[in-house]
Amino acid sequence: MELHGKSVFGGIAMGRLSVYHKTDNAVKRTKITDIEAEKKRFEDAKEEAKRQLGVFYEKAVREVGEVNAAIFEMHQMMLDDLDYVESIINMIETQQVNAEFAVASTGDNFAQMFAAMDDDYMRERAADVKDISNRVISILQGNGDAGLSGDEPFILLADDLAPSETVQLDKSKVLAFVTRHGSTNSHTAILARTMNIPALIGVDFPEEGVDGQFGIVDGFDAKFFVEPDEDTKAEYRKLKEENEQKKRLLQELKGKENITKDGTKINLYANIGGVSDVANVLANDAGGIGLFRSEFLYLESEDYPTEEAQFAAYKTVAENMAGKKVIIRTLDIGADKQVGYFDLEKEENPAMGYRAIRICLDRTEIFKTQLRAIYRASYYGTIAIMFPMIISVNEVKKIKEIIAEVKAGLDADGIPYKDVELGIMIETPAAVMISDLLAKEVDFFSIGTNDLTQYTLAIDRQNPKLDNIYDSHHEAVLRMLKMVVDNGHKEGCWVGICGELGADETLTETFLRMGFDELSVSPSMILRIRDKIRNTDLSVK
């Protein structure tokens, strides 16, 4: 039997299936006579629930870190929430009902209220309030925590798992978990990812007949197999072995230099879209950030982001990178990245239209606001700035004039900043052909291979009809890359790639032989490219 769901965490697990059934907290409404005693029963159960959550918090801190353990602190706070507690106490007093019924009713009411909200974060709280209510009911009914363990390693199947249930998992025994419900953004999903347990949600597995059977969880392709045939087992044994070998290899590469066997070094940086991506950059051991796509601050906002909002984002990234280089690309909207409040007119050919630096040099107040924010943030780390879609030396000179105005304004306001490296994106054939002249004006080049390829080949990279002739390895593109490196180096410019091609492992050796100083790739590709670099010997022709 082959089933499908959504992946919460990748990986492959093979083993016996164990179906987890929650403790049945069936609640009956009972009329009580001693209201004060019933209120005390609830208060005692609430305090015991908080004590249990404290134990879970300590266990989670040890296993998954303080940030991911915070859910249990939040659950403790929710148990003391005045609205929640008052609703339960009021129901016991006015309706003279048993504490179990009051807790269950309040839990359902609050969960429905949260579930109806527009905000994703608040909707997730519906599961949390149900979790704490079920815990209190279990204590009131004298039910212990359901065991989530077994003698042999197993794949856990459940209707859903609350965070408090997930943290009880014995990681040495649980190979993976598969649930019918849940969400990819729930606390349980976050814990699963942190605990490195392959996990699927939204899998409609049968109610009966699967307990104890052999199963396979494919967290990469979101597949779940029950009693697979021998060919499928053999295929997944091989995939599992390859995946584990790759994980071991990549972990061994953390902290190692990006240096070839013959001693050639290259910087390996990461591309990011926002502040939240920095954790992934650090986890994958990138040497810096080679492309901070600042337009995401504009795309995610309903109006022009203020200087303060931008400054806060750039400063946070600079501080979190602790002195490692952070290259911020100035606003690059237009073409396929439209922002409503910019009121850009519809164009026949937006890829070659009013976009990127062309907008910034036309609407200079927007540009100055961004530059002020970047220069202010430069004081808190090692920031560099690069400008997209350059086609002339005059553009660079205009940019420098605007920067001089911005610096003068900061000086007048007594705001500290650092002089930063200035660079340009090479993503037009025009920039390639005059790269010898442009190199005299800037400190570095970063090649945007996505646009450079589409402009060079005159092929819209988003047109699926042309996929068969779109060739990022085209000799014309490769010759251009070499020309840019040579022209940059002659004038003392360092040269990198921040386009998708930088992560193409089949070209890593080619880029090293061309003399590139830096490759900037998605964080998940850092260690794979490092492995490729360290296994390359440029002395062998």
Residues assigned a catalytic role: 187, 498
Q: How far apart are CA 220 and CA 53, in angstroms?
A: 32
CB-based burial label for 180 (10 Å; 0-12, 13-18, 19+): middle
Q: How far apart are CA 425 and CA 375, in angstroms?
A: 19
Q: How far apart are CA 96 and CA 38, in angstroms?
A: 9
Count of Cβ atoms closer than 10 Å to residue 56 Cβ: 23
Task: Please tell me whether 280 is known to bind a ligand.
Answer: no
List alpha helices for 226-338, DSSP H: 230-252, 278-283, 295-299, 307-320
Task: Please tell me whether 513 is known to bind a ligand.
Answer: no
The bridge status of strand 12-20 relative to strand 154-158 is parallel
Q: Which of 534, 444, 436 is nearest to 496 (CA)?
A: 444
Q: How far apart are CA 241 and CA 247, in angstroms?
A: 10
Q: How far apart are CA 337 and CA 295, in angstroms?
A: 9
Q: Which of 164, 195, 158 is nearest to 179 (CA)?
A: 158
CB-based burial label for 39 (10 Å; 0-12, 13-18, 19+): middle
Task: Please tell me whether 451 is known to bind a ligand.
Answer: yes
Q: How far apart are CA 320 and CA 299, in angstroms?
A: 23
Count of Cβ atoms closer than 10 Å to residue 436 Cβ: 14
List alpha helices for 143-229, DSSP H: 163-166, 187-194
Q: How far apart are CA 204 and CA 5, in angstroms?
A: 8
Task: Please tell me whether 152 is known to bind a ligand.
Answer: no
Count of Cβ atoms closer than 10 Å to residue 333 Cβ: 20
Task: Please tell me whether 450 is known to bind a ligand.
Answer: yes
Q: Which of 88, 101, 128, 131 is nearest to 29 (CA)?
A: 101
Task: Please tell me whether 461 is known to bind a ligand.
Answer: yes
Query: Binding site residues for Mg(2+), as ranges?
Result: 427, 451
Query: Binding site residues for phosphoenolpyruvate, as ranges?
Result: 293, 329, 450-451, 461
Query: Binding site residues, as ranges?
Result: 293, 329, 427, 450-451, 461
